[in-house]
Amino acid sequence: MPSGAEQAVLADFADIVKSNEPLAPYTYLRLGGPAEWLIQPRSREELSAVVRRCFQARIPLRVLGSGCNVLVSDEGVRGAVLRLNEPAFTRVEVDGRRVRAGTGAAVLALISEAARHGLAGLEALVGIPGTVGGALRCNAGDRAGDIGQFVRQVEVLDSRGDVQVRERDELRFAYHWSNLDDPVLLAADFDLEADQADAIVKRMRKAWIQRKAAQPLNFQAAGRVFKDPRGLNAAGLIVQAGLAKTRVGGAEISERDANYIVVHPGATSRDVLRLVDLIRSRVEERFQVELELEMTVW
């Protein structure tokens, strides 16, 4: 269907749709072109209606969290990109040992609210940027633990815009992967353990310091690029392949952790993708290991 017809399909949502909206400001790397439609629903009903309409009109639909794990191509994205940044999607509520978070909430807001109520577990994730939705989709975490282990259930929208509940026993979480592949994740319930607030805060501080010491410097825009291959370490392979600090255009391998690409002013997504290709081919040539992208490229 041509874009003019798509515009008519989305006409009812004029208040919440921006057309040809640059996505770079909404991503961590601040790179990439526009979305054909950027849609920011204000309520669940509005969100359901948008999803239903896009499905009926076969308009491709994506959800953008904080864009920490997404590289938007310079050409931009066809179809609709949803952002769940309105209060209807960012609430965090505590009920006993259970915490419910909208997927648009920041992971940090979820961890802080849990800690404030003396609920432990998620503090190991402190310092991982992004939203609850992005963290669930990618099962954010590291050796100290991942978000998936605390999930009790997840509310999602299917492609018809209907709410479905995915219970613990149907959910699968593995290294940087989950089977939560529904078009929209709405909210999640987490089961946590009671603990002393000061002990939780102490662990939060420790996790924060450890993670920040390993990540690129705060002023640098940087993205984590590859999954660690089984039993191996992507950063180690990149360094051993002689690629430390390699730069292509405005994209450079971080000197703190070679599995991050730092982008300099003037960089483009194409620079990042060319550097990714270079790393992949050099590592494969040298070690016969195929590095798998952790970032999603749009």
Cβ count near 217 (within 10 Å): 11
What single-letter amino acid sits at 156?
V
CB of 113 to ligand FAD, least distance (A): 17
CB of 146 to ligand FAD, least distance (A): 7
3 or 296: whose CB is closer to ligand FAD? 296
b/e code 161-186 from CB counts within 10 Å (16+ = b) = beeeebeeeebebeebebebebbbbb
- 43-56 in b/e form (b: 16+ CB < 10 A) is ebebbbebbbbbbe
**Toward ligand FAD, which CB reaches closer, 41 or 130?**
130
**Nearer residue to ligand FAD within complex by CB, 40 or 69:** 69
Instruction: Considering the complex, state which of residue 22 and residue 118 has its C-beta at the smaller distance from ligand FAD.
Output: 22
Give me the least distance between CB of 233 and ligand FAD, in Å please: 13
Shortest Cβ 163–ligand FAD spacing (Å): 13
Nearer to ligand FAD among residue 53 and residue 176 (C-beta): 176
Residue 283: CB atoms within 10 Å:
22
Residue whose CB is less far from ligand FAD, 32 or 133: 133
Q: From the CB of residue 62, how many other CB atoms can be counted at a distance below 10 Å?
A: 17
Q: How far is Cα of residue 145 from the mean position of the Cα atoms in its chain?
A: 17
Under 8 Å CB-to-CB from 179, ≥6 apart: which residues? 170, 171, 172, 173
Q: How far is the CB of 107 from ligand FAD (least distance, A)?
A: 7
User: Which residues in this chain contact ligand FAD in the complex, by CB under 6 A?
Assistant: 28, 62-70, 84, 103, 128-131, 133-135, 137-138, 140-142, 176, 184-185, 215, 222-224, 296
Q: Please tell me whether residue 291 adopts helix, strand or coil conformation.
A: coil
CB of 182 to ligand FAD, least distance (A): 7
